[in-house]
Structure 1
Amino acid sequence: MKKGLISSLLMLYVVIVPWDVVYAADENRYGYSEGNEELLLSGLKNLNSQELDLALSDLEQLTKRRPDFRLAQLVYADILAAQAQGAPLSVKGDTNKQKIDGLISEAKARLLMDLEKPSRNMLPADMLKLSGTQKHIIVIDTRLSRLFLFENRDGVPVLVDDFYASYGRAGVGKEKRGDLKTPLGVYFITNRLKDEDLPSRYGSGALPINYPNIWDQRLGKTGSGIWVHGSPVETYSRPPKASEGCISLTNPDFIKLDSQIDYRNTPVLVGYKIRWIDKQDWLEQSKHFGTLIRQWASDWESQDHQRYIANYSSEYNDGKRNFKQFDRYKRRVNGSKKYIRIGLENLSLYRYPDNPDLVVATFKQSYKSSNLNGTSIKRQYWKFERGRWRIAYEGLPSKGNP
């Protein structure tokens, strides 16, 4: 068999599987995903070891289960073509070459994930501390075209599922509206959109995230409508680079994801290459970063202005005040208090996967002083500079432009 999968199937596909019968036998409009990837990987591995009959058996079963799984149809048709004609159809011209290349990329991404799938005792290094109110955390590795779903069990993340995922057709590192790239960073789901309220290209529903967040806006990034969503209803899955910047799952996988998470309180970490560490190392790291925030609160309570302001970056800007203005303001306000007491609840800390010198802290702050009391949700962006972590922004959580 020639390297790179084998056929220009999309011309065949219209003949083999008419679109109007794709879902006809499905009680569930979007069908099911359980076992599909396992059958595909088994078929590809059998193909690689020249076990063609076994590969055909796997792929025949899969194409019957999911007639709209284009990659499975591609491999299946090409094995048949290779047996019948002595050569795969994919090397006999470049009809639909771009679409075929996309399917080949999907096969490579799925195989890469199978090779590099982390063991159960490994955790993403950038999930620093989980809030007790966050029941699930989403981590997306675009290099692997994979979405990982973690459950928060007593403050420790436990991997409970993972899904193949497509991202921006122009890659990652979104900078401006229309660049067709997926943003990298730490985000939060802001809403849930049902399939009946969306165009069919979004499939079984959508979960908008808060891009551009306050840090994106500070860097001059533009754009809107970055969602985690399903796939166009006429197909099962898409090539790795297929969206306009969103994260796209198969429709059954999106339904499964959506059924588990709380859309009002789920972080989404998006990175090009997620770094994994041993669970014990993760636990030690989590303690360290939790101490960082508690020390900031203690310095504030001390009413020693130099101790307090040393926690802030010279590049601090909250949209109202730069560092010098903030310095003067806090010196005056804190100096007028007889006492200050700071309470912290529901603290979460996440590091930018592709910028290890940037951490996002979110918590419920209780403030008590001699002349003012109040509670609020605060979000801080901490930068590592001049040998220590410092706050470059603090304020209310941003909703982005969903």
Structure 2
Amino acid sequence: MTNRLRISLSASRARLIAGCLSGAIFLPSIAMAESAETQLLSGFKSIHDYSFNQAMQHIETLANENPKYQLAQLMKADFLAIKAGKSRWIQEYRKAYPKKVHSLLEEAKVRWQATGLTHQTESEILGQFVLKSSAQPYLVIVNSEAHRLFLYQQTAGAYHEVANYYVSIGRKGTGKQFKGDLKTPIGVYQIVKQLSDRQLPELYGVAALTLNYPNQWDKQLGRTGSGIWLHGTPRSTYSRPPMASKGCVVLNNPAMADLIDRYRLPPETPVIIASKTEVLPVPSDTAEILQSNNKQQVLSRINEWLREQQEYEVDWSKVGVFHYPGEKDMYYVTFPTHVKGREQMVEQFWKKTTDQNGWQLVLKVQQTSPSQKTQVAYNIASR
């Protein structure tokens, strides 16, 4: 067989694999925290480059090292079928198990698309949500449409991305309104506490970080349900399809272990869960100027209010101000303070008004410690 023929066959095989795993292909532009994901993305890049043998090597390594990674096993089977000249087996398997294969192909699609998130776009995502860094050492932003969790660490008064992971969300998407709707909430939440492996049913994997859904704004709007967490996956599988939970944000177990063991996310860490439409780049220079002016107006009004009130002393350097996703012209403010010798966390919700002040405090929440939210966090069955 000539070299030209070998190259032609390899290209044809790679095109067939790419066709089977339909979806747009983007090249990786950021370092991935997990070696498994690195292998997966390297395999995708080889498919993009029509390098059949190299792609097969990456996927075989991934599948062999992670025997419970169903997407890797499906891709490995596809490669072996094509190599054996039995490409019809691929379609036969898809017809026999349509639901299972569809969920795996959806995972492949969102994994491919996520590699198109450039560092610049990630900075824009952070810039649209964070008006001012809080006292908390970490910040979590979940882009629900891209199925990515971005972790930021505070350094020198500003947040910088340190990791990002693939996540699964609610079966019915986002915008949770009531108990049992199988949706993931959109909003700003706080981590309440960590639950270890021994405290959890197998469904939740190696650990969980509970969130304070419904927060006070959700309750104000009549939203119900509870038990919305960040958690891992059962050991019977490596990862879950993009939309497979009852409302939680689900990571694979290596990623969840990272959050718990490597980064040790503390209680009261802000978790912003947003939709894709809210993380698009700013469309024009004019819009950017307006956004900058709006930001300064918000910060000035909040700072002024804090200086005028007599209820407690506030260190402005520890005040966090975040755009609240899912709500027009609303901001979430959080800061620590001391009242009668006891440390308390204060959460505020500010909205734009038509009066001369421009911005108004519409809701305030005060608690002595994160443990006050534990009752909500332990309600596993509610969702």
TM-score (norm. length: structure 1): 0.75
Matched, 1:389 2:341: no
Give, in whole Å, the separation in 2 of the partners of 1:90 and 1:180.
32
Q: 1:285 to 1:233 in 2, by over 3 A?
A: farther
* Residue of structure 2 equivalent to 1:310: none
The correspondence for 2:347, drawn from 379, 392, 400, is 379
1:198-213 equivalent positions in 2, closer than 5 A: 198-213=200-215
Q: 1:88 to 1:378 in 2, by over 3 A?
A: same
Matched, 1:275 2:279: yes
Shift in Å at residue 210 of structure 1? 0.2
* Residue of structure 2 equivalent to 1:37: 37
Matched, 1:261 2:264: yes
Output the amino acid matched with 2:303: R
Q: 1:90 to 1:392 in 2, by over 3 A?
A: farther
* Residue of structure 1 equivalent to 2:118: 117
CA contact (8 A) 1:129 1:286 kept: no
Post-superposition CA distance 1:154-207 (Å, at most 9, x none): 220000011111111111111111111100100000011001111111111100
SS at match of 1:103: helix
Give, in whole Å, the separation in 2 of the partners of 1:148 and 1:88.
40
CA contact (8 A) 2:259 2:265 kept: no
* Residue of structure 2 equivalent to 1:98: 99
SS at match of 2:96: coil
Structure 1 gaps, min length 5: 7-32, 301-339
Structure 2 gaps, min length 5: 1-15, 23-32, 283-287, 378-383
CA contact (8 A) 1:62 1:72 kept: yes
1:2-401 equivalent positions in 2, closer than 5 A: 3-5=19-21, 34-87=34-87, 89-92=89-92, 93-119=94-120, 122-124=124-126, 125-132=128-135, 134-259=136-261, 260-273=263-276, 274-275=278-279, 289-300=298-309, 340=310, 343-345=313-315, 346-365=318-337, 376-386=344-354, 388-397=358-367, 399=373, 401=376
Q: 1:179 to 1:291 in 2, by over 3 A?
A: same
Give, in whole Å, the separation in 2 of the partners of 1:38 and 1:79.
19
CA contact (8 A) 1:79 1:88 kept: no
- Higher mean displacement: 173-182 or 48-57: 48-57
Q: 1:285 to 1:4 in 2, by over 3 A?
A: farther
Give, in whole Å, the separation in 2 of the partners of 1:150 and 1:45.
27
Output the amino acid matched with 1:127: V
SS at match of 2:192: coil
CA contact (8 A) 1:138 1:149 kept: yes
SS at match of 2:116: helix
Q: 1:59 to 1:179 in 2, by over 3 A?
A: same
Output the amino acid matched with 1:252: P
Shift in Å at residue 244 of structure 1? 0.8
SS at match of 1:104: helix
Please report the RMSD computed on the Cα atoms of aligned residues, expressed in angstroms: 2.8
Post-superposition CA distance 1:109-139 (Å, at most 9, x none): 111110123337545111222222x010111
Q: 1:98 to 1:86 in 2, by over 3 A?
A: same
SS at match of 1:383: strand
SS at match of 1:182: coil
Shift in Å at residue 238 of structure 1? 1.1
Output the amino acid matched with 2:158: V
Give, in whole Å, the separation in 1 of the partners of 2:264 and 2:326.
25
Instruction: Find the structure with the greater CA-based Rg.
Output: 1
TM-score (norm. length: structure 2): 0.79
Which of the pair is proportionally richer in helix? 2
Output the amino acid matched with 2:347: R
Output the amino acid matched with 1:295: E
CA contact (8 A) 1:129 1:289 kept: no
Shift in Å at residue 267 of structure 1? 0.6
Shift in Å at residue 36 of structure 1? 1.2
Give, in whole Å, the separation in 2 of the partners of 1:277 and 1:94.
40
Of all paired residues, the percent bearing the same amino acid is: 33
CA contact (8 A) 1:185 1:271 kept: yes
CA contact (8 A) 1:223 1:401 kept: no
Shift in Å at residue 277 of structure 1? 6.6
Shift in Å at residue 285 of structure 1? 7.6
Shift in Å at residue 76 of structure 1? 1.1
Aligned residues: 332
Output the amino acid matched with 1:381: F
SS at match of 1:159: strand
Post-superposition CA distance 1:17-76 (Å, at most 9, x none): xxxxxxxxxxxxxxxx73211211221232243321111111111112111111111111
